[in-house]
Chains A and B, each alone.
Chain A
Amino acid sequence: MSAYILSGAMIPMGKHTNASYAGLAVPPVRRAIRESGLSRADIGAVYCGHAFGGMLTGQRIVKDLGIGGVPVVNIDNACSGGASAVQAACQAVEAGIVDVALVIGVDKLTQFGGGTLPLVTEDWEVRQGMVMPALYAMRARRYLHERDATPADLAAVAVKARRHGMTNPFAQIRKAATVEEVLASRVICDPLTLFQCCPTGDGAAALVVVSEGRFRRLGKSGLRVRASVLHSGTATTGFRDMLRPEITYHSAAEAYEVAEVDPKDLDLVELHDAFTIAELVYYEALGLCKPGHSAALLRSGATSQGGRTVVNPSGGLLAKGHPVGCSGVAQVVEAFWHLTDQAGARQIPNARLALTHVTGGGISGLDHGACTVHIFERAS
């Protein structure tokens, strides 16, 4: 029995300094419930993904809507928190434990006043000066060393993200940039420049996930969850190939196997482009191209709007924004809109299959702490 996404909603990402966590999340939760055609009383469980909301974030949100009594589970998995909440909801629905689940992804990064994410200082590498952009910058440096690619290839990822973001009214950055402008922006962690790093912002998104029985009875259009995969990283004390992120390779392979889907059948992908280099490395890890062919794939236009497999039609984390725990849910909302013909100006015609991918966290010895991959199919 599959789980189904019945509705989805989000707020535009940006600097919503005067909104609390509830202030951010209540509007998309209300709208997702309204669009589902169900009522508050139908919700059997709530899964709230966040990284920096503090204690009882989910309860602080749903109490304002009069939702209570049911289990509310708060999930932190860094950037993968929201998608982990989606996975938990799908698992509960598929197992028949819950008939209707509400998923929330929310985070408010403006509370930190900008700059890099605050990492856990118990970690040895963090104490040695590791920051998230440095981790990706080292990956980028290695990519430029091993691959037939130049800094302009990295910049081209940001150019595409911003071009896509211009068509998305929910995107935090809606301004085009040229390769030259991307490369000329301020250096954050060499070779990554400011325009190659996701912006700091706030966001919230919500989904209603229902059982197959409920979906059939309602007779609405939505998304069938073909795969919902969550993996954690495995520690090593030695060598790690930074261009072969093991956690994404493994998660994607499992998702394709469970869904019985071939990467070339995907119409759109929302992947974890927190930094430009990530998109190129994940083309390879998600099987969108052979290892070593990612820069050529981007140059070919196949992953741009109008191409064979549009990657990050929303603008991705680079342009849409990346309020950590929100992102995994917001990716599914974007997929939902495309697969239900509601994406407006950026609609991918006849989109049938979508994949969402988000990793989480930087910890010593790991590729990443968490990785979630979902595959969705248009259903009615």
Chain B
Amino acid sequence: MDTHDKPAGERPDDTMPNLDLGETERLVARTPLGEHTVMGGECGDCSARMAPSRPVCPNCGGTNIHPAALDSLGTLYSFSVVHVSATREVPYTIGYVDLPKNVRVLAAIDGDPAELRCDQVVRLVPDTGDGWRFAPASVEEKDMR
């Protein structure tokens, strides 16, 4: 919610920069049952969900965003094995993973690239550094879904 409790010239709170380059927020949450899920945000005004969370909702422009534990299973929309990079060791695989309730994340994809397929079910790998990792889900997990 935007607050305008002070005169504009007296530096209201919402005139301070968003420190979005600071410590990376927690990217993985743990449910009471011990399950690892993607940590993101949910807009209190329009219900849009997003990962990672961000200071302003791109859907409605509001700032009423609270942290939300999202899901651990998603579908792999597409992926690529990257063989050229100036900044990191190659090859590595990245892909877009679609989580339930319309959230898409770019993530590292584990597993043999030759076995990966568009639209297959993937599961969050708990051991995440400064981004998410997903790997093909087991047969039982696909049935659960």
Contact = CB atoms under 8 A, between A and B. Distances in A.
A138 interface: yes
A189 B131 contact: no
Interface string A125-143: 1011111011001110110
Nearest to B53: A237
Interface stretch (A75-83, A238-246, A370-378): A238-246
Interface residues on A, range: 35 or more
A129 to B, nearest CB: 5
Query: Which of A125, A141, A242 gathers most chain B CB within 10 Å?
Result: A141
A122 B21 contact: yes
Main secondary structure of the interface of A (DSSP, over half): loop
B49 interface: yes
Interface in A194-221: none
Interface of B: 21, 48-52, 58-59, 77-86, 88, 92, 94-96, 98, 102-104, 106-108, 113, 117-119, 130-131
The 8 A-B residue pairs with the shortest CB-CB distance in the complex, in nearest-first order = A238-B102, A137-B80, A237-B50, A138-B78, A145-B118, A190-B81, A235-B58, A142-B78
24 contacts: A115-B86, A116-B84, A116-B85, A124-B106, A128-B94, A130-B106, A131-B85, A133-B82, A138-B78, A138-B79, A138-B80, A141-B78, A141-B79, A145-B78, A188-B83, A189-B81, A190-B81, A190-B83, A235-B58, A237-B50, A237-B102, A237-B103, A242-B77, A242-B78
A238 B81 CA distance: 22
A333 B77 CA distance: 38
Contacts of A134: 80, 82, 94
A237 B79 contact: no
Query: Which of B21, B78, B88 gathers most chain A CB within 10 Å?
Result: B78
Query: Which of A188, A237, A238, A364 gathers most chain B CB within 10 Å?
Result: A237
A157 to B, nearest CB: 18
A315 to B, nearest CB: 22
A129 B96 contact: no
A280 B102 CA distance: 27
A83 B78 CA distance: 30
B86 A118 contact: yes
A56 interface: no
B119 A145 contact: yes
A317 to B, nearest CB: 17
A239 B108 contact: no
Contacts of A242: 77-78
A129 B82 contact: yes
A189 B84 contact: yes
Contact of B82 (A131, A142, A191, A238): A131
Contact of A238 (B104, B119, B131): B104
A142 to B, nearest CB: 4
Contact of B103 (A124, A133, A141, A238): A238
B75 to A, nearest CB: 10
Given A129-B85, A133-B80, 15 more contacts: A116-B85, A128-B106, A128-B108, A129-B82, A129-B88, A134-B80, A134-B82, A138-B77, A145-B117, A190-B113, A236-B58, A237-B102, A238-B48, A239-B98, A239-B102
